[in-house]
Amino acid sequence: MNRHQFGLVSKVLDAIHLIASVVLGFAIALCLFEFALSFVHSPRVTEFAGVAQLHRLGDPLMTRLAGGFHVAAAKRYVPLVLALIFYLLIVALDRIFAIVHRELWARAPIPSAQASVLAADSEEAREELVRKYREIEQALKEAKRKRCTFLSIDVVGSTGMKDGESDIDITATFKAYEDLLKRTFLLNRAWKQAWTPDGVMICFLDRDKALASAKTILEKLDQFNRRDNKLKTPFHVRCGMNEGDVAIFEDTNLEKVVDHVIDVAGHMQKYAAPDTLWLSEELYNALDDRSGFGPADAEVDGLTAYAWKAPVTAA
C-alpha cells in the first residue's frame, strides 16, 4: 500500500468516526430530552406532536430497559443512564480511532526525500543532500522577500521622566503620546507594528509614508508638550529609518522577525540626536524629497548617516 492509499484509508476512517460521533451525539440529545420530559406535566407540552411521537416511540423502550427496576420512580432515570453510556462510547471511540490512526501512519511508507536520506550510506552522500535542501530553502526565502521600510522611534530618557510624577499624570501623558503615534501610523498606512513600553518599530510598504510619519511626529512634538504633556519633563524622541528586502508575510508577527535591515533601523534611532530622524546615505539618495536633510557626521553599522530635524516654530 502506497502513501496515497494510506491517506485514502485515513479519510474513510475519519468519515466513519464522524458519523458514529454524530449518531451517538443525537442519541444523547434524545435521551436528555426524554429525561427532561419526565418532569413536565403540562398538557400544552405533552400534546405537542413531536413530544407525543417521542413518547410513543421512547416510552415502550424505556419501560423494557427499566424492567429490572422495582421502584417506579427510578425508571425516569433510565434515559439519563443511557445518555451517560452513549457519552462513554464517544470517548472510547475517540481513543480507539486515535490509536488506529497512530498505528496506520506508523506503517505508512517513508516519503522519497526522507528515504533518500536514510538510504545514504556515506557521509558524502548525506552532505550533498543537506546542501541541496539548503539551496532550495534559501531560494524559497529569497523568492518571498518583500521590500519594506522600517521606522524605529523611542522616547529619550523615559524612565527619568517618570520620577516624582503621579501615576495618573504618567498614564495620561504616555497614553496621549501613544495616541499621537497611532493616529499618524494609521493615516500613513503602516503595515505592521511592534511596541515596547516606550518605543515602537513600524513596517511600511511605502517609503514616502514612513518618512511622512517620522516628520509628522517630530513636527507635532512641540504642540504635544504644550497641550498634552502633564509631566514636568518635555518629551523628546529619536527616530531611525532603514529599508531593504525582508522575509515577511501578511500573517508574520513583526516581533518575531530577525533581520539586519531591522537592526540598522534600530541602531539609527539609538545613535540619533534627540528630536531627529537618522537614516543611511543609501536611503537618503532614494528619497524623492530630501529637503531638510543634512549629513549627521557619523556612521552607523558602517553606513554614513543623514539627519532631519523639524524646523523651529513660534509658540
Report phi then psi at 202, rounded to 5.
Answer: -120, 140
Residues with Cβ within 8 Å of residue 126, at least 6 apart in sequence: 117, 120
For residue 238, give the nearest of 214, 261, 212 by alpha carbon. Answer: 214
- pLDDT value for 304: 97
237 burial type by CB count under 10 A (0-12 exposed, 13-18 middle, 19+ buried): buried
pLDDT in tens, the chain (315 residues): 555 566 677 778 878 888 988 888 888 887 787 777 666 666 654 555 555 565 566 566 655 655 554 445 556 677 778 788 888 888 888 888 778 767 766 665 555 555 554 455 566 666 777 777 677 666 555 556 889 999 999 999 999 999 999 999 999 999 999 999 999 999 999 999 999 888 999 999 999 999 999 999 999 999 999 999 999 999 999 999 999 999 887 777 888 888 899 999 999 999 999 999 999 999 999 999 999 999 999 999 999 999 999 987 655
| All three cell numbers of 8 | 485514502
Please give the angle made by the CA atoms of 237, 167 and 269, to the nearest 5 degrees: 15
- pLDDT value for 20: 87
Range list of H helices, 188-259: 207-227
Residues with Cβ within 8 Å of residue 235, at least 6 apart in sequence: 155, 161, 173, 177, 221, 224, 225, 229
Task: Name the pairing type of β-strands 276-280 and 192-195.
Answer: unpaired
76 burial type by CB count under 10 A (0-12 exposed, 13-18 middle, 19+ buried): middle
Which helix (H) or strand (E) element contains residue 199?
strand 199-204
Amino acid identity of 285? N
Look at the pTM and tell me if it is higher than 0.75: no
**CA–CA gap between residue 111 and residue 114 (Å, rounded):** 5
Contact criterion met (CB below 8 Å) for 306 and 284: yes
| All three cell numbers of 185 | 501610523
Collapsed DSSP state (helix, strand, coil) of residue 41: coil
- pLDDT value for 71: 45
Report phi then psi at 285, rounded to 5.
Answer: -65, -25
